[in-house]
Amino acid sequence: MRNTLTKLSLMTVACVMAAHGAFAQTPAGDPCSAATSGSCVSGTSSQSITISRPEPLRTSAYVMQIGDANDASISQSSSNQFASITQTGDKGTARVDQQGEGIAYLEVDQAGLLNSFVVRQTAESGGGNIAVAEQDGENNAILLDQFATVGNLNGAVLAQQGMGNKMELNQAGSDNRAELVQTGDNNAMTATQNGSANQLRWVQDGNGLSDLQIVQSGNQAISITQSNGGN
């Protein structure tokens, strides 16, 4: 299979888009709502996590930045990888690293101040990674690691609002799916899924909510909601 290597790095105000179809900015807390194609059904019920996006026909990267001192970089290796980064605001950072054979698909939409997103996706032959992400507010951070074995798929839907929220997700292998949503300030999330057919939906609402961490392996499905009313 033909190998391609794409590296894209932009700093400060930048707007680089190719003709692919617009990716509309989505309301905070629901990255799926403005999808222009595919399916991303999450949040309708506690166990409804359906993540799908069109398969990239070729390796492509899109970056749009509006504001001051934004920093975005995309590194791609292989032939079926797609990455789209939109940053609106100031001093946002997005780092994307896609490697391996198979499909790696990513959408990042950040708005606000000092938000950061670091992504590493590895898709082996016949596998795929999908991530849809959104951050709003100030000083929020997401770290996402996804791995896929042959014929398997990872997913994820990530959303943060407020200030000082931290989120980390590490998925490895065999149809893992997740939705992590935080609203408020100074909340923390960590979720690790290993094995096959895992599903996770973990919603937090409020301020200063503790990190439950949560490690899954096997065929589990879980849904957890924390709330303190934002007080």
**If you average pLDDT over residues 130-143, what whole number do you get?**
88
pLDDT grade, residue 34 (50/70/90)? Answer: very low
Q: Quote the DSSP letter at residue 121.
A: E
pLDDT value of position 57? 66
Residue range 179-216, pLDDT digits in tens: 888 889 999 989 888 877 788 888 888 899 888 887 77
pLDDT value of position 4? 38
Q: Is the pLDDT of residue 22 over 90?
A: no
Residues 6+ apart with CB under 8 A from 185: 137, 162, 163, 164, 165, 207, 208
Q: What is the distance between the alpha carbons of residues 142 and 31, in angstroms, rounded to a whole number? A: 14
**If you average pLDDT over residues 49-56, what whole number do you get?**
64
Q: Is the pLDDT of residue 26 over 50?
A: no
**If you average pLDDT over residues 127-139, what whole number do you get?**
82
Q: Quote the DSSP letter at residue 163.
A: B
Q: Is the pLDDT of residue 226 over 60?
A: yes
pLDDT grade, residue 42 (50/70/90)? Answer: low
Q: What is the distance between the alpha carbons of residues 123 and 103, in angstroms, rounded to a whole number? A: 6
> What does 38-85 look like in DSSP terms, one character per residue?
SEEEESSSTT-EEEE-PPPSS-EEEEEEEEES-EEEEEEESSSEEEEE
Q: Is the pLDDT of residue 50 over 90?
A: no
Specify the pTM: 0.76
136, 112, 127: which is closest to 78 by C-alpha? 127
Backbone angles phi, psi at 2, to 5 degrees: -65, 135
More confident residue, 145 or 175: 145
Residue range 55-67, pLDDT digits in tens: 666 788 999 999 9
More confident residue, 57 or 227: 227
